[in-house]
Amino acid sequence: MTSEQLEKKKEFIENQVKFIKSQGFHSVRLFATLHDSEEEVTHSYTNGRGNVQAQIGHVRDWLIRQDEYVRVDARKDVNS
């Protein structure tokens, strides 16, 4: 992947963040990863606007909820 192609992809993410913010959201952060099989490397990119600490808190809460859903499902499977 050329640096020009990578820049276009980064620009796309930046535009998505701008659009979401324009819709009235106070805080937004997008994470993107792209595997480049030609170079055997993964490019990671993040872009966002707003309160970073709030974003970290939201992601942390979401991860905790997802972990709990997995635990509950596992208990249901064992008890079935």
Q: Verify that 12 and 45 share a domain, yes or no.
A: yes
In this structure, what token pair is assigned to residue 37? 């099989």
Q: Verify that 29 and 66 share a domain, yes or no.
A: no
Q: Verify that 1 and 27 share a domain, yes or no.
A: yes
Contacts of 9 (CB under 8 A, 6+ apart): 32, 34, 45
This prediction's pTM: 0.58
Using the predicted structure, report yes or no on whether residue 67 has a pLDDT greater than 90: yes
Kindly report, residue by residue over 5-34, the tens digit of the pLDDT.
Answer: 888 888 998 899 889 889 988 888 888 888
Into how many domains does the chain fold?
A: 2
DSSP-assigned letter for residue 53 = H
Q: Which domain, by its residues, includes 5?
A: 1-49
Give the separation between CA 68 and CA 61, rounded to whole angstroms: 11
Q: Verify that 57 and 35 share a domain, yes or no.
A: no
